Amino acid sequence: MRKFKVAVVGATGAVGLEMIKMLESRNFPTESIKFLASESSIGKKLIYNGEKITVELLTKKSGKGIDIALFSAGATVSKEFAPYFVADDCFVIDNSSAWRMEKDIPLVVPEVNSHDLKKDKKLIANPNCSTIQMVVALKPIHDFAKIKRVIVSTYQSVSGAGQKGINELTEQVKAWAKGESIPTANKFQYQIAFNLIPQIDVFTDNGYTKEEMKMTNETKKIMGDNSIEVSATCVRVPVFRSHSENIWIETEKPISLQEAKELLSKAEGIQLMDEPKSKKYPMPLFAENMQTIYVGRVRADISTKNNALMFWVVSDNLLKGAALNAVQIAETLVKNELI
């Protein structure tokens, strides 16, 4: 089997570290690997397959000789450096929001739209974490009954805001446990410990946040169907890892509860955990560090006679919501001989 020269950009960040773990644990065919980051991380040592590898400075020439680069260093860095990697004939899988809605750039969740990957499309966007887990759950139902409308409320963990989000919740909980004053919020708009914040990212003119609009616009692009109407409310919750979502859908074609459950149980990447009488349903506690999207609480909407269902979806946002999906894109490029 052919092996590939790989680079991880933003290697020392929360998602970058998970990308490294996923490449290693999933035995990605790596000939060599390079870890790249900003000046503050130069010289740090990271372990890959038992070998200590020194973090190097990201430059415009870092892509020379690299086959696949996984970027997780933010939109500004991606905008500046990704085009240089592509110019050096490197596939770039970018985890930031920089390229997601660009018309000619694939926005890919392999279980949903791997067909959008092409040999001549070197720059590939990794979708938003909350969008990824939702579209994987929507796909089998959409294929069967065509989804007309989606209303989703998210309960997103602090790791979605990176290591600073994790640190802020940790510090606030520790202070509370000691009976000390809770530190002033810095990363989030308000104290996150023992609180919920109904704002992720900034508000737009229509009253929705950018995070909510990402879910609307990215879903249409990934599903390849602009007719799907999506309305989201995104909430930050005091959980370290894994996002949860309550999803309501309306379909054009009738679909029974049993049909929906059967479709979900057979869908790639999904584990149906739906035994409410036995108190078996998805929770962040179960999903942390798992490479699976969990679906449960599947039920018909009793408030309408339309074709409407509700279900609960939980997934580790640092894995399937970011690092794992990026590595799966790389795996798909290899499997389909696009690289």
**Catalytic residue list:** 129, 243
Q: Please give the Cα distance from 251 to 254 (Å, whole number).
A: 7
What one-character-per-residue DSSP string does 214-255 give? HHHHHHHHHHT-TT-EEEEEEEE-S-SS-EEEEEEEEESS--
For residue 90, give both structure tokens.
């490197």
Q: Please give the Cα distance from 286 to 246 (Å, whole number).
A: 17
Query: Measuring CA to CA, how many Å separate 68 from each of 5, 65, 76, 299?
Result: 7, 9, 20, 42
Q: Beta strands 243-251 and 308-315: pairing type?
A: antiparallel
Burial level of 322, CB count in 10 A (0-12/13-18/19+)? buried
- Enclosing H/E stretch for 45: strand 45-48
Amino acid, single-letter form, for residue 36: L
